[in-house]
A and B are shown apart, each in its own frame.
Chain A
Amino acid sequence: MMSEVLRLENVTKSFKHKIAVNQVSFSIKKGEVTAILGPNGAGKTTTISMILGLLKPTTGDITLFNSQPQELHVRQRIRTMLQQVSVMPGLNVNEILMLIRSYYLEPLPLTDLIHLTGLTEQDLKTRTEKLSGGQKRRLNFALALAGNPELMIFDEPTVGMDITSRHHFWQTINTFANQGKTIIFSTHYLQEANDNAQRILLFKDGSIVADSTPQQIKSRISKKAVSFLTDPDTSLEILYQHPEIEKIFRKNNRVYIYSDHTDRILELLFQTKIGAHDIQIESGNLEEAFSQLTGENKEVI
């Protein structure tokens, strides 16, 4: 109980003719890094907005640090970066950071903020309305970190970032995760979820259709396979008899064996001595899992 940061209980949000989030329940413990995935319109932003207290659930309860989302002591401890980049016209980056830091009891030092987000000395003196898109995102990230929050919630944080910024962003997030901060983010980049999250909440049509580690989701859905090269004349008959093998076929000289027990297959390959070399284990990928679970094509993810 102590270490629970966030809890949603049967949360539903309906707009006029549309149920955007339907009976969603989950809880998140301190230090967890969670990715929220799902196709367009699945209810990710709506869920995040309710957690932040920007929208009220139609029914159901949301508790953050055992309190309501709107309470000021909750606001001291959480921070976000919204999909829309917000800047305050008329101030330069340095002034705006000073201003926001003054709202918090234990703000991060300015030097840390600069170091963590990759803002430059030059950026600091620039008026916010004159920043480039990427610089605005960096400022937005710095604003998100300014209060040294315990829980960070990001809705599609890396949209519009170049590769360097993206890399920088995830490096920083991982640093925070290692310090025991709790992080929740939504993304359409499955690789990001795979690389950075310990837990994936997969949304579809307003409900959670999967909630587990990236590995579990992958193994639950897609078949694992072992593939290897061998002399085309070698007979594979000896393998056919084993019950662990679900399917076996040749494609361009490479033999593919589908099975849930890839370790056992490897053992077999070495025992039978059929001259298998260049052996590879394919453990299924998240995209495949994603499209199976949501019934979507890869293109629309």
Chain B
Amino acid sequence: MNAFRMQCKMEIKRVLRNRYFVFWSLMMPILFYYIFTKVVNTDNLDPATWKAHYLMSMTAFSVMGSSIMTLGIRMVQERTQGWSTFIRLTPLPDPIYFSAQMVGQSIIHILSITIIFLAGAIINKISLTPLEWFLSGLWLLLGSLPFLSIGTLIGLMKKVETAAGVSNVLYMVLAVCGGMWMPLEIMPKTMQSIGHWLPSYHFGSGAWEIVQGGMPSWKNIVILFAYLVVLMILSKYIRRKQEAV
């Protein structure tokens, strides 16, 4: 048990010291949020709705980023630098190692969500009911699962450089086309129809619904779940193929 606690603690320390994480998952979303709600004028939308909406977009953007990039790149790093082999040779049971990473990652997400929510509340004095704060945070935490499985897929890559490149591009494409930077409604029709099939759109959409007093739709849940299942099967398949060689 001591090993599990220690492992969680060290995993969290490592993520917080990672400059990628601090930049992409904390500073960027808060900066963007500031710019697009304070500096740039978006007067064709209802200001109060927009401020809450965009806070959810940016928090989703952050959580998605640390799921895909931080997890994926770190997995490749650990493997190429021999750390995974090292761990395999210690008496630490695999399930403990794996669950400590998951717990560590979730704590990091809770932390990011809290910090960005706080920043939003301070910057724009957003008033949501405690239940809305809680539910949207919970949605963002659970909805990150398909993105964590994208992260583990990226983690199967051979080189850190490819993993970093691919995850960066994927991250940006998912964010833009999923309406996290700009609402899909103001984008061209083709973009909209693509966006409606992306996990990032449904991830954001669930949270947008909650802050407008609604609930995530079934479609949001089903599509995210479908992505999760497909990605998990895919990564299992690839891992088996890699082991066979």
Interface residues of A (CB under 8 A from B): 52-54, 72-73, 75-76, 79-80, 82, 84-91, 95-96, 98-100, 102-104, 143, 147
Contact A89 B3, CB 8 Å, known A75-B89, A95-B10: no
B132 contact set on A, CB distance < 8 A: none
Q: Complex Cα distance A75/B3, Å?
A: 15
Q: Complex Cα distance A147/B86, Å?
A: 13
Query: Would you call B209 an interface residue if the criterion is a C-beta within 8 Å of the partner chain's C-beta atoms?
Result: no
Q: Decide if B13 touches A82 in the complex (CB within 8 Å).
A: no
CB proximity of B1 to chain A, nearest CB, Å: 10
Contact of B13 (CB < 8 Å), options: A73, A85, A90, A100: A90
What are 9 A-B contacts with C-beta separation under 8 Å?
Answer: A53-B89, A82-B86, A88-B78, A88-B83, A89-B81, A90-B13, A90-B18, A95-B13, A102-B3
Q: Decide if A91 touches B13 in the complex (CB within 8 Å).
A: yes
Number of cross-chain contacts by CB at 8 Å? 62
Contact of B90 (CB < 8 Å), options: A89, A90, A103: A103
Q: Decide if B93 touches A99 in the complex (CB within 8 Å).
A: no
Of residues 1 through 42 on chain B, the ones whose CB sits less than 8 Å from some CB of chain A are: 2-3, 6-7, 10, 13-15, 17-18
CB proximity of B173 to chain A, nearest CB, Å: 27
Contact A86 B85, CB 8 Å, known A91-B13, A99-B10: yes
Q: Decide if B7 touches A99 in the complex (CB within 8 Å).
A: yes
Q: Complex Cα distance A156/B205, Å?
A: 56
Q: Complex Cα distance A132/B104, Å?
A: 29
CB proximity of B85 to chain A, nearest CB, Å: 7
CB proximity of A43 to chain B, nearest CB, Å: 19
Q: Complex Cα distance A84/B13, Å?
A: 25
A101 — nearest CB in chain B belongs to which residue? B6
Q: Decide if A80 touches B89 in the complex (CB within 8 Å).
A: yes
Q: Complex Cα distance A52/B87, Å?
A: 12
CB proximity of B200 to chain A, nearest CB, Å: 27
Q: Decide if B85 touches A82 in the complex (CB within 8 Å).
A: yes
Q: Decide if B81 touches A54 in the complex (CB within 8 Å).
A: no
A84 contact set on B, CB distance < 8 A: 82, 85
Contact of A72 (CB < 8 Å), options: B15, B18, B77, B93: B93
Query: Would you call B130 an interface residue if the criterion is a C-beta within 8 Å of the partner chain's C-beta atoms?
Result: no
CB proximity of A147 to chain B, nearest CB, Å: 7
Q: Complex Cα distance A62/B112, Å?
A: 48
Q: Complex Cα distance A113/B7, Å?
A: 20
CB proximity of B199 to chain A, nearest CB, Å: 28
B81 — nearest CB in chain A belongs to which residue? A86
Please tell me the number of chain B residues within 8 Å of chain A, measured between CB atoms.
23
Query: Would you call B92 an interface residue if the criterion is a C-beta within 8 Å of the partner chain's C-beta atoms?
Result: yes
A52 contact set on B, CB distance < 8 A: 89
Query: Would you call B91 an interface residue if the criterion is a C-beta within 8 Å of the partner chain's C-beta atoms?
Result: yes
Contact of A98 (CB < 8 Å), options: B6, B17, B89, B93: B6
Query: Would you call B239 an interface residue if the criterion is a C-beta within 8 Å of the partner chain's C-beta atoms?
Result: no
A88 contact set on B, CB distance < 8 A: 14, 78, 83
Q: Decide if B88 touches A54 in the complex (CB within 8 Å).
A: yes
Q: Complex Cα distance A84/B17, Å?
A: 25
Q: Decide if B83 touches A72 in the complex (CB within 8 Å).
A: no
CB proximity of A237 to chain B, nearest CB, Å: 66
A99 contact set on B, CB distance < 8 A: 6-7, 10
CB proximity of B220 to chain A, nearest CB, Å: 34
CB proximity of B60 to chain A, nearest CB, Å: 25
B10 — nearest CB in chain A belongs to which residue? A99
A102 contact set on B, CB distance < 8 A: 2-3, 6-7
A153 — nearest CB in chain B belongs to which residue? B89
Q: Decide if A89 touches B91 in the complex (CB within 8 Å).
A: no
Q: Complex Cα distance A90/B16, Å?
A: 9
**What 5 A-B pairs have minimum CB-CB distances, sorted nearest first?**
A90-B14, A86-B82, A75-B91, A102-B6, A86-B86
CB proximity of A105 to chain B, nearest CB, Å: 8
CB proximity of A54 to chain B, nearest CB, Å: 7
Contact of B91 (CB < 8 Å), options: A86, A96, A103, A143: A103
B97 — nearest CB in chain A belongs to which residue? A103
CB proximity of A139 to chain B, nearest CB, Å: 11
Q: Complex Cα distance A85/B86, Å?
A: 9
Contact of B83 (CB < 8 Å), options: A80, A86, A98, A104: A86
Of residues 84 through 130 on chain B, the ones whose CB sits less than 8 Å from some CB of chain A are: 85-86, 88-93
A77 — nearest CB in chain B belongs to which residue? B91
B6 contact set on A, CB distance < 8 A: 98-99, 102
CB proximity of A213 to chain B, nearest CB, Å: 30
Task: Name the residue among B3, B78, B89, B92 with the largest chain A CB count within 10 angstroms.
Answer: B89
Q: Decide if B14 touches A89 in the complex (CB within 8 Å).
A: yes
Q: Complex Cα distance A204/B7, Å?
A: 42
Task: Name the residue among A72, A76, A90 with the largest chain B CB count within 10 angstroms.
Answer: A90
Q: Complex Cα distance A95/B17, Å?
A: 13
B90 — nearest CB in chain A belongs to which residue? A103
A76 contact set on B, CB distance < 8 A: 91
Q: Decide if A54 touches B13 in the complex (CB within 8 Å).
A: no
